[in-house]
Amino acid sequence: STQLTNTKMGKQSIVFDEIATLADQRILLIDGAMGTMIQREHLEEDDFRSDVLKDHPKPLKGNNDLLSITRPDIIYKENDASSAERLGPPTKRYRYRHQWKNQKCGMSVTFQELVKAYGDQARSLLDGGVDVLLVETVFDTANAKAALFAIRGIFENEDVTEVPVFLSGTIVDLSGRTLSGQTGEAFLISTKQGQATAVGLNCALGAKDMRPFIETMSNYSEALILCYPNADLQVFVSRDDFGFLECMSSPTGKNFTLEKAIDVAREQVESGAQVLDVNMDDGLLDGPYAMSKFLRLIATEPDVAKVPVCIDSSDFSVIIAGLESIQGKCVVNSISLKEGKQAFIER
């Protein structure tokens, strides 16, 4: 049975009841993955350019986002019969930029920027009359949390009719983890406050390999379970394309590799640590930046990510940066009244 929750506005679409009724009667089908539907059109480089981008210096074929500008007729055709619209991974992603060789360390977009972008997207879709919002192909739960935070804010604070939200993650291999290191169970727990009507998996794995992970997720959620394997994971880079850069400095000014910082965390976990305490309150550090960067790094390490994290700081800006950077739930430590009760309440 689906989990239905009234918002402050108390203004819900009848689609909630329709989906719940139909789901009790039979299996429901979701039609088509957008990428494979576009592939059927056999588009060429010129389709991704048109007159708008004809002089762009880079190859553009395969950048499906551009088709909204260069071939809107294709996008309209594929969406015309659909009442659900997706909020997929943004062109700029919250993480991983630091993982690629020859790129500067640091995130390409902040959590708040993602909230705004997803909010704008959701409002436009709601204005267009969609019946369902689908947050899909989630390989980084922090992105999904930004999308869900934006959507819940719209439903609870704006004069709109609430529609069901579907949430779908992506398990990238048989280890059962997302690209950012979370298991399916952790993904569900981390996004529970988004109040999704249906949750599940899509993309990457084929139906046979995806099945055990879907079964596990069904044991951890009261929501409807959805599953839509499409064309499997089509393109992946080799291990040689990954690497870390020496891009952080110690208080003495000497560079140290990020691998060493991760090794310290790994050693603590292997030694029996049940919670990993992370503190960046050093006068010579940019605390929010350091906290955010380190938490994103350890999230990609299964040996480290398996234990809870404690964001340890007396600086609220560091705590906020940490909370915006971590995928799941965590412990917060060192909050105090040392600056006075009123300042604490205001923060």
Q: Which two tokens stand for residue 199?
A: 């949750």
pTM: 0.59
Residue whose token pair is 């350091």:
290
Same domain, 20 and 161: yes
Rounded to whole angstroms, how far apart are CA atoms 221 and 213? 13
Rounded to whole angstroms, how far apart are CA atoms 160 and 156? 9
Give domain status of residue 16, yes or no: yes
Same domain, 266 and 228: no
Same domain, 83 and 199: no
Residue 173's pLDDT band, with cuts at 50, 70 and 90, is: confident
Number of domains in the chain: 3
Nearest Cα to Cα of residue 168 among 225, 83, 213: 225
Give domain status of residue 3, yes or no: no
Same domain, 51 and 141: no
Rounded to whole angstroms, how far apart are CA atoms 86 and 133? 6
In degrees and rounded to multiples of 5, residue 183 shows phi and psi of -80, 165
Residue 238's pLDDT band, with cuts at 50, 70 and 90, is: very low
Domain that holds residue 318: 258-346
The pLDDT score that the predictor gives to residue 333 is: 86
Give domain status of residue 162, yes or no: yes
The pLDDT score that the predictor gives to residue 108 is: 66
Same domain, 180 and 270: no
- pLDDT surpassing 90 at residue 158: yes
Same domain, 101 and 63: no
Same domain, 210 and 342: no
Same domain, 126 and 238: yes
Rounded to whole angstroms, how far apart are CA atoms 245 and 117? 29
- Can you tell me the mean pLDDT for 209-215? 88
Phi/psi-derived region of residue 171, left when phi > 0, alpha when psi is between -120 and 50, beta in every other case = beta
The pLDDT score that the predictor gives to residue 104 is: 37
CATH number at residue 21: 3.20.20.330
- Can you tell me the mean pLDDT for 256-282? 78
Nearest Cα to Cα of residue 170 among 212, 140, 132: 140
